[in-house]
Amino acid sequence: MNETAIRFENFYYGYINGNVVLHNVNVDIGKGSFTVISGPSGAGKTTLCKAMVGIIPYYYGGRYAGNVEVLGETTKGKRVSDLSMRVGLMLDDYESQLVSLTAGEEVAFGLLNHGFAPNEVEARTKQALADVGLPGRENYQLDELSGGQRQRLLLASVLAVHPEVLVLDEPVSAMDPDGAHALYKLLYKIYQEYQMTVVVVEHNINFLLPYATNMVVMNKGKVAAQGTFEQAAAMAYEVPELRPNLPELWQIKLNLEKRFNIKLGAWRKAEDAIKELQGKFVGGELR
Amino acid sequence: MIEAKAVNFAYHRGEPVINDISCKVENGEFVALLGHNGSGKTTLSRLFMALLHPRSGEVLVDGVNIENLEPADLAHQVGYVFQNPDLQILEDTVFAEVAYGPRCKKKSETAVKEQVDAALEAMGLSDLADAYPRTLSFGQKRRLGVAAALALSPQTLILDEITNGQDEQEKNNMMAYLERLNQEKGITIILITHDMNIAREYARRAIVLQNGDLVFDGTTADLYDGKRELSEWGLSQPIIATLSARFSVEGQTAAEFCEKLHLKEGAIG
């Protein structure tokens, strides 16, 4: 059996003075998986994310039932800092997470707070900057970096602590498509290199189609689909309101599979789809 | 009508950003302004509303050269909606936010109310008139940004990446509102976007910039014929367009495309 990195058991949550936003969530995120959490706006994706790293309930309070386990430990009664050595978090509003003047200080900030020795801080900072494609930029001022570079810097400061699980909440929401593709490509490279568990909240599944091993689809505070990417996509396809959020290639795949009662490949790239479609189908109004 | 005549532009000390561009957008058009990052599309759109002024050449709005005008002078002709709605919000209620522009123009409160109500109605925000803007969802804030521009009843709306970071439903929702403004009220829409699907589905005309040069000006049907190589301009064909061209069928959506396909004889053993 695969080990679990994050487990939600019968989890309910409501913000203070608010309605219950997560209803009976049961989710298993496997160790070593690259999981995308998707769903329409207001589905509860970000709340789920905050519960994974202990921000909920520690900072937000609110009403809570059930249990969340991260790497075998319950988040109940834990401070965020207790978990942050093992679970790294990157929020969508990356500018608000940057606190220092130079790139080197920014990466070192977290390490120093965790009490690493100075030589270790220096070595890890160097490595983390290299990992995100900013080698030797320790002395750069933050305003000398572009938006995309600042976002990668934030990723470096999360990575430097060597977390076992990396959680990212809509990391590309403020980026153009080129920047988004580049960030996810980099993330995948890091995922492979360090064999960590990666969880990404992203409504545009297209960006992650080449990479995601698993998927959780949320809808109105409930889990609408989960499992391997293939399983979850097939389940989400059956819900009319979720269908448009699936990658178009997979809408085509699932449509044709259903209509002709056949099985097509697990397309991750447009070329795969075009090749298989051209081999098996013809277009036209005939018949 | 907005017309650029041989417009050149560069930021201070910088490389040229807009090179000798001439184009004309007539009233009632729905135009997508496309191009890779740094291609100059945001700059060009800002030249259209006097937020920037050309180094040489002229920009005419309704036939008048706008070189000595400011955005506020043009606000009742050209409305601009920025990418990040949070940066545009100033007031404590949705109503006041939308009323800000007309009040600056010293309109009577009766006229203000009339215009604000119409703008909120057009963007589906009437029920939220008394809400605190910061509590709105992201999609609603975006619509608020459009409503605020609309309240000055401009002929033209320029919208910069207003569907970024939204899910499919919200995107289509926003676009449906814009389509209605265009078709029912004849408002000219200039949409700056990276989203090829949105451009293909809603815009009738596309203007493509690359490194400050105008490289394409024609119909979106022509641009997205599925055959054209768009990657040299930093754009991509929507996957449905590529597939539709390969199979010589017409389909706007995945479902429409699938309907036109048939299994080859003996393809599945």
Residue range A74-112, pLDDT digits in tens: 988 888 888 888 999 987 777 777 888 899 999 999 899
Kindly tell me if the per-residue pLDDT of B27 is higher than 90: yes
Contact A245 B168 (CB under 8 A): yes
A220 at the B interface (CB within 8 A)?
no
Whether the per-residue pLDDT at B235 is higher than 90: the answer is no
CB contact under 8 A, A176 and B258: no
Report the pLDDT value the prediction gives residue A285, as an integer from 0 to 100: 64
pLDDT band at B234 (very low <50, low <70, confident <90, very high): confident
Residue A176 banded pLDDT, cuts 50, 70, 90 = confident
Nearest chain A Cα distance for residue B78, angstroms: 25
Q: CB A203 to CB B167 under 8 A? A: yes
Confidence (pTM): 0.83
Using CB atoms within 10 Å of the CB of residue B138, give its burial: 0 to 12 exposed, 13 to 18 middle, 19+ buried. Answer: middle
pLDDT(B47) > 60? yes
- A210: preceding bond cis by omega (within 30 degrees): no
- Name the token pair of A187: 């993330």
Contact yes or no for B264 and A244 at CB 8 A: no
The whole-number pLDDT of residue A1 equals 45
* pLDDT > 70 in chain B, percent: 99
Can you give the pLDDT at residue A137?
A: 92
User: Which of A37, A93, A243, A280 is the best residue to mutate to test the B interface, defined by the most B CB atoms within 10 Å of its own CB?
Assistant: A280
Query: Which of B137, B138, B247 lies closest to A283 in CB terms?
Result: B247
Q: What is the pLDDT of residues A208-228, one digit of tens each?
A: 999 999 999 999 999 999 999
Whether A255 sits inside 8 A of B168 (CB atoms) is no
Q: Is residue A287 scored above 50 in pLDDT?
A: no
The torsion angles phi and psi of A185, rounded to 5 degrees, stand at -65, -45
pLDDT(A286) > 60: no
Least CB-CB distance to A41: which of B170, B172, B247?
Answer: B170
Q: Tell which wins on pLDDT, A31 or A178.
A: A31
State the average pLDDT for chain A: 90
Inform me whether the pLDDT recorded for B87 exceeds 80.
Answer: no
Give the pLDDT confidence of B151-209 residue by residue, as tens digits.
999 999 999 988 877 788 888 889 999 999 999 999 999 999 988 989 999 999 999 99
pLDDT at B253: 87
The residue ranking higher by pLDDT, A135 or A175, is: A135
Q: Tell whether the model's pLDDT for residue B90 goes beyond 90.
A: no
Q: Which residues of chain A have a CB within 8 Å of the CB of B34? A: none
Q: Say whether pLDDT at B267 is over 90.
A: no
Supply the pLDDT for residue A11: 96
Following DSSP, what letter does each residue of chain B receive, concatenated?
-EEEEEEEEE-TTPPEEEEEEEEEE-TT-EEEEE-STTSSHHHHHHHTTTSS--SEEEEEETTEE-TT--HHHHTTTEEEE-S-GGGG--SSSHHHHHHHHHHHTT--HHHHHHHHHHHHHHTT-GGGTTS-GGGS-HHHHHHHHHHHHHTT--SEEEEESTTTT--HHHHHHHHHHHHHHHHHH--EEEEE-S-HHHHHHH-SEEEEEETTEEEEEEEHHHHTSS-S--GGGT----HHHHHHHHTT---SSHHHHHHTEEEPTTS--
In chain A, the percentage of residues whose pLDDT exceeds 90 is: 66
Instruction: Work out the pLDDT band at B269, boundaries 50, 70, 90.
Output: low
**Taking 90 as the threshold, does the pLDDT of residue B135 lie above it?**
no
The confidence score (pLDDT) of residue A118 equals 93
Is B262 within 8 Å of A176 when comparing Cβ atoms? no
Instruction: Using the structure block, give the residue that is written with the tokens 């988040």.
Output: A75
Bridge partners (DSSP) of residue B9 are B18
**Is the confidence at residue A284, as pLDDT, over 50?**
yes
Q: Closest approach of chain A CAs to the CA of B206, in angstroms? A: 19
Mean pLDDT of B47-61: 95
For residue A118, give how far its alpha carbon lies from the nearest alpha carbon of chain B (Å). Answer: 40
Q: What is the pLDDT of residue A14?
A: 92
Quote the pLDDT of residue A91: 79
B-contacting residues in A 141-170 (Cβ below 8 Å): 170
Average pLDDT over chain B, rounded to an integer: 91
Give SS3 for A284.
coil
User: What is the structure's pLDDT at A2?
Assistant: 67
- Per-residue confidence (pLDDT) for residue B166, from 0 to 100: 78
Chain B residues in contact with A279 by the CB 8 A cut-off are: 264, 267
B25 has a pLDDT exceeding 80: yes
Positive or negative: CA dihedral B69, B75, B78, B84: positive
The answer to whether A252 contacts B254, with C-beta atoms less than 8 Å apart, is yes
Q: Indicate which of B134, B163, B247 best probes the interface with A, i.e. most A CBs within 10 Å of its own CB.
A: B247
Token pair belonging to A77 = 């009664």
